[in-house]
Structure 1
Amino acid sequence: MILHEWYRSVPEDLRAGLRALLDDAAGHDAEAGFPRVRPDDGPDVHHLVVHLLPDEREVVEDRGVPVLAAYLQLRVASDGTAVARYVVRPDLRSRGVTTLLFEKIGLDVHAPDGWAGTGAREVRIWARGDHPAARRLTRRFGSHDISRTRHQWNLLAPVRGLRRDDLLAEVPAAAEVEVRDVTGPDEPAAVRGMLGTLAGDPPADGALVRVTGRSGVDGAVWVDVTADEATEYGTAGRIHGPAVWPDGRADATRAALLVAAMEEIAGAGLPVAALVVDGDDDRLVHLTRALGFVHERTDAEYLLR
């Protein structure tokens, strides 16, 4: 049996336990590169905290004491579109917590006050690793409009001992594109305007930026050498992008930006570069393969509407 409660701000008496749950999940999922969830408050944020009551048949020290089992964070925009992030305590996964939760709160986004009273009319959530539990959930609640809308590939490329000439031999057009640092006073705004074209989460504050285009910005890539992401090949630096304006030189621009980002990560002494790409972007997928990236994990976005 589960207990659940919605909050607009996480109560003080739950914060310590929730932080412990999220820290435990972050440590458990770190090697897979899953993003860390934080219980941030805000005017558009709803928090759902889930407790699990121990099965009476189990031998436990604190029989009947609820265990903090899961946390869902929902950010609802003024138009009713919402983005959810969800974490289940690692030692309680595959116990049916999520199925029980949605059986209790339902998935009705047509109610006058939106899903579960949050005002959400459309909810998007990513299944990192496209976990089988996510697909089971869509089958279980097949009468509702839950669909797998898109997928992303998480890629890794070794960069230790990187030779720029070797990369350019695979994508020679990249050598014709000048890549530089952000310089002009108007460029940061143009770079921020490209954020919407990026795959994955926005880059961390302080990430280095490289851009192309002598007059204005034609493309940009963000490089975070402090991401501290554990992989089976060692600690990775994270590449966000590349984002480019679509034109006849888009492929060459993306290639040049990726080469510059890989050089940045290698120069920081890191052994591997991590990158997320849209699995349906065949041209970019082909380009990353030419540059030595290999598939690590597939993430899938699910939509409830």
Structure 2
Amino acid sequence: MITYTWRTTLADNEVKDVESLLEEAVEYDAEAGFSTATPTTAGRGEVRHLLVSIAPPGERGSVALDRLPDVPVVAYLRLDVRGEVADVQLVVRPEFRSHGIATLLAELLDEQPTGWSSVEGVRRLRAWAHGAHPAAERMARRFGARVDHALFKTLRFIGGSRPFAGDDVGAAVEPAPDGPAEMVEGHLAGIAPGEREVLARGRTRLATPAGSVLVGVDEKDPARQPACIALDPAGVPAGDVRALLTTALLRVQADGARVAQMYVDALSEAFVGASRGLGFQHDQSDVLYLRPL
């Protein structure tokens, strides 16, 4: 029913086909914040592209599939290979989801000599599922992947009729033109464009002797768009995490924000505890899966 083709580089028409798929998926997944892919971005290692095609309507073995459009690419997989580890990004065109395309592709890649075994040296696959996609959870169970890490996207409503109050510890204000650093390797590569826009607002650093936090609000509409708070708890004493976050909330509230968004490292007890204590609410989980081959 489906076939796949590996590419080390994409031809211009293939880039166009993949970008069309991704644009459709981004629009469809905007509210859920599911993962996307980055076909034209440089990788950390050797990048390979997998283009997945399906038989023409009338030859797909399913009435439901035969009703779907005749398109050149129904799924796209990006593989970033570094030694024994490869980072995977996979996006299925929205119309073709819930028809077993991803599951069948995974089976073929396991079974066929042109699948994973054709990628020399790879022993483990890493894949982020942004928004804890239910299909990703099912695929992980079926193919023996385990959760290796997770980040919580959290929200804190502030200002207006529910102002946040706390003690400002005082901080030096510095520009942070590079924006937030990646908290866990690979997390930002496939993040949804809407989430990337929020993170891009974090261009101001509030620095204290204990550590620093990046903050920023939307310049045009700070009350309607989420503000960014970005803290990497590494190296910050556990007792100082809450104070840093309090200062960050007071700053974005003063700048007009009515909601702040922050990613929390699920493995950091101090970070999770401080964020909950300050009223940050869980919105979604981004999960990193690791699968041995």
* Counterpart check, 1:80 vs 2:84: yes
Q: Alpha-carbon deviations, 1:170-190, whole Å to 9, x = none?
A: xxxxx4x4322237xxx99xx
Give the match for residue 159 of structure 1. Answer: 158
Which of 171, 188, 204 is matched with 1:201 structurally? Answer: 188
Cα distance, 1:70 vs structure 2: 1.4
Cα shift readout 1:189-233 (whole Å, capped 9, x = no counterpart): xx99x946568438756731324345xxx42323353599xxxx9
Write out per-residue CA displacement over residues 243-290 of structure 1, whole angstroms, 9 at most, x where no aligned residue. Answer: 34143xx332x2233234334443554432111212232322221122
| Change beyond 3 A, Cα 1:224–1:37 | farther
Structure 2 match to 1:178: 170
Letter in structure 1 aligned against 2:73: L
Tell me the amino acid that sits aligned with residue 101 of structure 2.
V
Q: Write the distance in 1 (CA, Å) between the matches of 2:158 and 2:62.
A: 53
- From the superposition, tell whether residues 76 and 267 of structure 1 become closer, same or farther in structure 2 (CA, over 3 Å): farther
SS at match of 2:279: coil
Q: Verify: 1:30 aligned to 2:18, yes or no.
A: no
In structure 1, the gaps of 5 or more residues are: 169-174
Q: Which residue of 1 aligns with 2:193?
A: none
Backbone CA RMSD of aligned residues: 3.7
Cα distance per residue 1:132-168 (max 9 Å; x no partner): 32232233334xxx2122222221111233745x234
Corresponding residue pairs, total: 274
Aligned to 1:15: 15
Q: Percent sequence identity over matched residues?
A: 29
Amino acid aligned to 1:155: T
CA distance in 1, matches of 2:211, 2:75: 40
Maintained 8 Å contact 1:210/1:222: yes
Identify the range of structure 1 (114-123 vs 294-303) with the bigger mean alpha-carbon deviation.
114-123
Conservation of the 8 A alpha-carbon contact between 1:198 and 1:241: no
| Counterpart Cα distance in 2 of 1:201 and 1:59 | 35
Which moved further from structure 2: 85-94 or 36-45?
A: 36-45
Distance in 2 (alpha carbons) for counterparts of 1:198 and 1:93: 28
Aligned position for 1:284: 271
- Matched residue, 1:171: none
Counterpart mapping for 1:1-305 below 5 A: 1-34=1-34, 36-42=36-42, 44-53=46-55, 54=57, 55-58=60-63, 65-77=70-82, 79-106=83-110, 115-117=117-119, 119-142=121-144, 146-161=145-160, 163=163, 166-168=165-167, 175=168, 177-182=169-174, 195=181, 197=183, 200-201=187-188, 207-214=202-209, 218-226=210-218, 235-247=225-237, 250-252=238-240, 254-305=241-292
Q: Distance in 1 between matches of 2:281 and 2:253?
A: 17
2:99 is paired with a residue of what secondary structure?
coil
Secondary structure of 2:231's counterpart equals: strand
Q: Which amino acid aligns with 1:9?
A: T
Name the amino acid aligned to 1:89. R
Contact kept? 2:158, 2:253, Cα under 8 Å:
yes
On the 8 A contact 1:223/1:239 being kept in 2, the answer is yes
Gaps of 5+ in 2: 190-195
Say if 1:156 and 1:295, in contact at 8 Å, map to a contact too: yes
TM-score by length of 2: 0.76
TM superposition shift of 1:2: 1.0
Quote the Cα distance in structure 2 between the aligned partners of 1:61 and 1:198: 41
Distance 2:171 2:111 in 1: 47
- Contact 1:167/1:291 (<8 A) preserved: no
- Summarize the Cα distance change of 1:235–1:116 in structure 2 as closer, same or farther, 3 Å threshold: farther
Output the CA distance in 2 between the equivalents of 1:58 and 1:38.
32
